[in-house]
Amino acid sequence: MDDLARAVEAALFAAEEPMTAEALAGFLGDAAVGDVRQALRSVAQDYEPRGIHLVERSKRWHFETAPDLAHLLRREQEQIRRLSRAATEVLAIIAYHEPVSRAEIESIRGVQTSGGTLDVLMEAGWIRIAGRREVPGRPTIYATTPEFLEHFGLSSRRDLPGIAELRATGLLDPVDDAYDELMGEATGEDGADDTERSDDPEES
């Protein structure tokens, strides 16, 4: 490998911006532009099979990673997290009452709901903003999405069991709630930060 090629390689590597052959020649102390071009082509050829390529874009040269490796360099890491108890409640309320405003959700839940909870549900793709209620303040109202039905294996919201069925299955038995309370599970239901408590990374 000749000296000029090495110099060209190092200069382009250290450069903060792509450089033209002319700029390189000037930078490297009056090397002949023709020689620089030749060096560039030979270096580019050296790199062809490698994980780095030397490429020319509108007369400016720069190094970049090989395009076929792009997927390696920009990785998506998926994390599976379980929805927090508070977020699940909010989702259930939206599902049963949609479209529903935040104030309505809070009055049904009996506790304040942090904006973060709704954000999480939106990020999950299970709820959407369904417009605004035409009352003073025009609050945003929320509804579930088709992804919600899909994820929960429901063909429609009508599949959700009614109050009578809930009672029949004991799900309305206050004892459960009292029991949970005793076990300390129902603490922090102030809705302060649902997302924070949802970090059960028991999968992933």
User: φ and ψ at 101, to 5 degrees?
Assistant: -90, 170
- Residue 9: which of another protein, its own copies, none does it interact with, CB under 5 to 8 A by kind? its own copies
- Residue 136: which of its own copies, another protein, none does it interact with, CB under 5 to 8 A by kind? none
Shortest Å distance, C-beta 97 to its own copies: 34
* Residue 69 makes contact with its own copies by CB under 8 A: yes
Binding-site size for another protein (CB under 8 A) equals: 74
Q: Which residues pair with 95 in a beta bridge?
A: none
Name, in order, each residue with C-beta under 8 angstroms of 117's C-beta and a sequence gap of 6 or more: 84, 86, 87, 90, 191, 194, 195
Q: How many angstroms separate the CA atoms of 114 and 142, rounded?
A: 14
Shortest Å distance, C-beta 149 to its own copies: 20
Instruction: Give buried/exposed letters for 126-163 (b at 16+ CB in 10 A, else e).
Output: bbbebeebeeeeeeebbbbbeebbeeeeeeeeeeeeee
* Residue 180 makes contact with another protein by CB under 8 A: yes
* Residue 89 makes contact with its own copies by CB under 8 A: no
* Residue 6 makes contact with another protein by CB under 8 A: no
- Residue 172: which of another protein, its own copies, none does it interact with, CB under 5 to 8 A by kind? another protein
Q: How many angstroms separate the CA atoms of 60 and 64, rounded?
A: 13
Q: Which is nearer to another protein, 45 or 169 (CB)?
A: 169
* Residue 6 makes contact with its own copies by CB under 8 A: yes
Quick one: which of 30, 75, 158, 184 contacts another protein (CB under 8 A)? Answer: 75
Q: Which residues pair with 57 in a beta bridge?
A: 60
Shortest Å distance, C-beta 41 to another protein: 20
In the sheet that holds 140-144, the strands lie side by side as 100-101, 140-144, 127-132
User: φ and ψ at 77, to 5 degrees?
Assistant: -110, 125
> By the criterion CB under 8 A, which residues form the site for its own copies?
1, 5-11, 13-14, 27-29, 49-52, 63, 65-66, 69, 72-73, 75
